[in-house]
Amino acid sequence: MRTVLQSLDSDTLEDAFRRHAKALLPEGAVGEKAVVALDGKTLRGSFDHINDRKAAQTLTAFSSASAIVLAHTEIDDKSNEIPAAQQMIRDLGLTGVVFTADAMHCQKNI
């Protein structure tokens, strides 16, 4: 199974995964909107002092009603969670959805 997964194109697989997860989103009751939570995490132990590499960071979009991960992405070393979240919201292409995020996203100029 590992060999098969490693032979697949990662961008194509991610696109198929996102389409499938989007199709699983529940419709919700009239007047009720789906909620998608955005959360960034730093992967513990992923830093490399010898090669001067920062710890890896990821961003995940999670549908709380259907309890599935809609998308995930690695955050660029020279960036942070805010632009990655904005890009993920655009890439998901969801309408009529409430996105939640932590306090980092409450900055004035974003």
Say yes or no to pLDDT of 31 above 70: no
In this prediction, residue 56 has a pLDDT band, given cuts at 50, 70 and 90, of confident
Task: Catalogue all structural domains in the chain, each as residue range(s) with its CATH number.
Answer: 2-102 (3.30.420)
Kindly give, in sequence order, each residue whose CB lies less than 8 Å from that of residue 35, ignoring residues fewer than 6 positions away. Answer: 63, 64, 65, 97, 98, 99, 100
Answer yes or no: are the C-beta atoms of 65 and 35 closer than 8 Å: yes
Q: Point out which residues pair with 105 in neighbouring strands.
A: none
Output the pTM of the full model: 0.68
Burial annotation 54-83 (CB, 10 A radius, 16+ → b, else e): eebbbbebbbeeeeeebbebebeeeeebbe
In this prediction, residue 46 has a pLDDT band, given cuts at 50, 70 and 90, of low
